[in-house]
Structure 1
Amino acid sequence: MRAVIISDFGSVNGGAAKVAIESARGLAEAGVEIVFACAIGPISERLDHPRISVEHFAGKEIWQVGSKLAAARQGIWNARAYRFLSDLLARQPRDETLVHLHQWTKAFSPAAIAAAGESGLPVALTVHDYFSFCPVGGYFDFKANALCQRRPMSIGCVACNCDRASYPHKLIRVARQFGSDKAMRKLDAPLFIHVSDFARRFAEPFLPRQARHVVVENMVEAERRTPVNATRNRHALFLGRFTQEKAADVLAKAARDADMPVRFVGEGPLAGEIARLNPQAEIRGWVPAERVFDEIAQARCLVQPSLWYEPGPLVIAEARSLGVPVILARTTGSASWVADGEDGILVDRGDAAGLSAALTRLKDDACASAMGIAAYRGYWADPLTTERHVGRTIESYRLLLSAKP
């Protein structure tokens, strides 16, 4: 079995790149021959493996290529990337080879999908976000600060000024989505790999009818430790970007109303608003990756009140692996892991009062202890290990290859 993995980035700069790289490494160790095609360096040391060959396109991230016009042109269709990938895929052996796209919007453009489809090789796509069908990638109206209610690429969608930046920026993304949709329609029975059951149920109606769908959760690099005694901790924790769709400001208000200490770890444009809403909130910058689990272990609970349909945030699994209770919006992928009221609490998105009530509930030691223990047991009953991820990915590859004419 041989897989050509396509990822904009050759090193970890976010969740999608990390999954692509760690998945490639795990697949190689399981005996799969990997060709890792990336555009933006540097190249991770994790890709240094006898069964991994790296093909570096040496491209740039869209908004770093020069003028805005040049950036827009590359984002809509990267002709150089198309030639690079077409040539690469043409050189691959026809039998037992497939193409697996993880991320293409930052450098490769929809040209990656077109090259994969035209290669004649079976194609899989991991749905890390919603750029497979939504121009802005989140199915979220950033101007209205609300979930989108429009059919992707409908007249209403195209006319709506919903982009985080500006309407002209949205139109560039619409042009890119047009190219992406056109390339998607030409794929012969592609396999979409979703990172949670929730994400699959949400995204499937918007994806090509000829597609097949599986769920393969991302891996969590968690070592089994003694469970945290959450009753010794006082503060709620938010870990991530301070952006409107992640609703850090909603948590700031809810924690203030619940009179619960709260710590925000990350960065983003809402830092000032968090401080205004909750002057007692502790705001810190990012912590190194190796300290994330230690940071979570200091928390009474971890909170993720996202407003958008977040596919599968792994920080929830990281908290559960430590025995730290979680509170999250019920319309996120990770909500499918939580038994509401037993090992965590689910709240409605944007409901500051409901979130405040959940925080107040976890101020009770007996409640926090019981939920933490249940979360720990629930996670370790079926942990999100790399081996689990790799095994299910290989099963997905076999399903894809078995359908090959």
Structure 2
Amino acid sequence: MDQPGEKTIHPNPAGMKVLVIHCAYGHSGGEDSVVREEMELLRNQGVEVQLLGFDNNRHKMRDLLLLPFNFFSYSRVRRACRRFKPDLAHVHNTHFAGSGSVFAALKKSNLPFVATLHNYRLLCPSAILYNNGQLFLDSVNSAFPWKAIREKVYRNSMLLTAWLAIGNKINRAMGLYTLPAKYIVLTSFAKNIFNRSSVSIPDEKIVVKPNFVTDRGSKPATRNSDFLFIGRLTEDKGIPVLLEAFAGSPHRVRIAGDGPLRPMVEKYAKQHANIEYLGHVTPGVAGELLSTASALVFPSNWYEGMPMTIIEAFAAGCPVIASDLGAMHAMITDGVNGKHFNPGEAASLSRALDQWSAMDVHTQSIYGKEARAIYEKLYSPEENARQLMAIYSDTLHPD
């Protein structure tokens, strides 16, 4: 399991000002939530924060054409630096309205900055290293992702994939990816991927800092025997594997979420009494479900960045049964705070469900206590604030 190394805590410089830069996705997703929560965390630490946001839907065609270097975005960043006069900048997503011009503008403004790598877009146009139902790793060590272009890994378009690849290549050639003082990745697994990739980022520039969720408290509750899935209903999230494992199973599962595979989920729910589809649920309802479920099932087929649902489960004292892959491998210790199964294998998931259900309630509760303990140790707002302020201070005052 990931446990970020202890670092010397530097005092928060009085009146620190941080410019946060982020391109919002077309649909609000996990990264957008992380940015909002992290900004609030900084404000609670007494940091003055300003968001420079880019909207990928506002000037879609123009920004797409300027993807290699967006002069409009460059000018916006320069103006924000002059007006706000920040001490440092924290860059999140630059795809695609921001582009590599964000890094260039911060350099021109003589402003130190860090960048969080929420996904693998720096390495592959797919961003998630997944395509056509399987992991796609060919771009990780390639100087140019020819195979990714042929396989149309971005929105099933050869043209769009090629344009992203060209933009990435231009940014690399310009040396833009060497400019951040620090890159923040979410797990040691992600750090290893970037370390062995064709992107030349010095090891000392990559630091591990996980995401966090607000603590709603782990309420003592009587847990039922139902399993729970919360997330987008997509193939890469492992929905077909989940449904196959529970079809005809003696175990019950409640599925919350929405997405392209909703018709498939609804069909299975009608055919199998042990599969219940709840539709989209609010964060509050999701929290209640996590507080009473026997365990969360997380059957994702790709590496993931850092699933917020898993952190939410830990915060609620809910163990997690997940694919033994990527971030899930890093976050979950089999036999401690959850169980692993072989990615993409419904039979393996079925065995894990059987093993879990065969445990007595007391043993299951120990797993839950361990899940809560790891939340408090690694994923709480307090611990995240400590790590983030240390990164900022090291950026402003390098040894």
Normalising by structure 1, we get a TM-score of 0.83
Which range moved further: 242-251 or 113-122?
Answer: 113-122
Matched with 2:109 is 119
Matched with 1:302 is 296
Question: Alpha-carbon deviation of 1:75?
Answer: 4.1
Equivalent residue in structure 2 for 1:128, among 107, 118, 134 = 118
Which range moved further: 1-10 or 393-402?
Answer: 1-10
- 8 Å Cα contact 1:228-1:323 kept in structure 2: no
Matched with 1:356 is 350
Residue 343, structure 1, aligned to residue 373, structure 2? no
Matched with 1:32 is 47
- Tell me, in whole angstroms, the C-alpha distance in 1 between the residues paired with 2:229 and 2:238: 10
Which range moved further: 243-252 or 267-276?
Answer: 267-276
Question: Alpha-carbon deviation of 1:108?
Answer: 1.9
Residue 327, structure 1, aligned to residue 324, structure 2? no
Matched with 2:10 is none
Q: Match for 1:39: what amino acid?
A: F
- 8 Å Cα contact 1:347-1:355 kept in structure 2: yes
Question: Alpha-carbon deviation of 1:100?
Answer: 1.0
Q: Match for 2:19: what amino acid?
A: V
Q: Match for 1:108: what amino acid?
A: G
Matched with 2:138 is 150
Equivalent residue in structure 1 for 2:99, among 96, 104, 109 = 109
* Residue pairs, 1:252-401, within 5 angstroms: 252-256=243-247, 258-276=249-267, 279-280=271-272, 281-366=275-360, 369-379=364-374, 381-382=376-377, 384-401=379-396
- 8 Å Cα contact 1:306-1:332 kept in structure 2: no
Equivalent residue in structure 2 for 1:85, among 77, 90, 102 = 77
Describe the shift of the 1:184–1:130 C-alpha distance in structure 2 as closer, same or farther (beyond 3 A): farther
Equivalent residue in structure 2 for 1:20, among 35, 54, 59 = 35
Identity of aligned residues (%): 23
- Tell me, in whole angstroms, the C-alpha distance in 2 between the residues paired with 1:383 and 1:213: 18
Describe the shift of the 1:71–1:90 C-alpha distance in structure 2 as closer, same or farther (beyond 3 A): closer
Describe the shift of the 1:349–1:184 C-alpha distance in structure 2 as closer, same or farther (beyond 3 A): farther
Matched with 2:219 is 226
- 8 Å Cα contact 1:255-1:359 kept in structure 2: no
Describe the shift of the 1:188–1:112 C-alpha distance in structure 2 as closer, same or farther (beyond 3 A): closer
Matched with 1:43 is none
- Tell me, in whole angstroms, the C-alpha distance in 2 between the residues paired with 1:256 and 1:194: 37
- Tell me, in whole angstroms, the C-alpha distance in 2 between the residues paired with 1:171 and 1:14: 25
Question: Alpha-carbon deviation of 1:134?
Answer: 1.8
Describe the shift of the 1:186–1:71 C-alpha distance in structure 2 as closer, same or farther (beyond 3 A): closer
Question: Alpha-carbon deviation of 1:247?
Answer: 0.9
Describe the shift of the 1:121–1:339 C-alpha distance in structure 2 as closer, same or farther (beyond 3 A): same
Secondary structure, in 3 states, of the residue corresponding to 1:105? Answer: coil
- 8 Å Cα contact 1:257-1:356 kept in structure 2: no
- Tell me, in whole angstroms, the C-alpha distance in 2 between the residues paired with 1:10 and 1:146: 24
Question: Alpha-carbon deviation of 1:252?
Answer: 0.8
- Tell me, in whole angstroms, the C-alpha distance in 1 between the residues paired with 2:173 and 2:50: 26
CA RMSD of aligned residues (A): 2.8
Describe the shift of the 1:183–1:30 C-alpha distance in structure 2 as closer, same or farther (beyond 3 A): farther
Structure 2: stretches of 5+ with no match in the other structure: 1-15
Residue 208, structure 1, aligned to residue 200, structure 2? yes
Residue 8, structure 1, aligned to residue 3, structure 2? no
Secondary structure, in 3 states, of the residue corresponding to 1:245? Answer: coil
Deviations 1:207-249 (A, max 9, x none): 433460111111211222334433xx23221111111211111
Describe the shift of the 1:377–1:188 C-alpha distance in structure 2 as closer, same or farther (beyond 3 A): closer
Q: Match for 2:39: what amino acid?
A: A
Question: Alpha-carbon deviation of 1:315?
Answer: 1.1
Which range moved further: 382-391 or 171-180?
Answer: 171-180
Matched with 1:45 is none
- Tell me, in whole angstroms, the C-alpha distance in 2 between the residues paired with 1:117 and 1:149: 31
- 8 Å Cα contact 1:11-1:17 kept in structure 2: no
Normalising by structure 2, we get a TM-score of 0.84
Residue 137, structure 1, aligned to residue 133, structure 2? no
Matched with 1:248 is 239
Which range moved further: 109-118 or 310-319?
Answer: 109-118
Describe the shift of the 1:374–1:136 C-alpha distance in structure 2 as closer, same or farther (beyond 3 A): same
- 8 Å Cα contact 2:187-2:208 kept in structure 1: yes
Describe the shift of the 1:202–1:277 C-alpha distance in structure 2 as closer, same or farther (beyond 3 A): farther
Describe the shift of the 1:238–1:164 C-alpha distance in structure 2 as closer, same or farther (beyond 3 A): farther
Which range moved further: 311-320 or 10-19?
Answer: 10-19
Deviations 1:70-108 (A, max 9, x none): 463154443211111123224565xx8222101121532
Question: Alpha-carbon deviation of 1:356?
Answer: 0.8
Q: Match for 1:99: what amino acid?
A: A
Describe the shift of the 1:22–1:396 C-alpha distance in structure 2 as closer, same or farther (beyond 3 A): same
Q: How many residues align?
A: 375
Secondary structure, in 3 states, of the residue corresponding to 1:203? Answer: helix
- 8 Å Cα contact 1:113-1:183 kept in structure 2: no
Higher relative contact order by CA 8 Å / sep ≥ 6: 1 or 2?
2
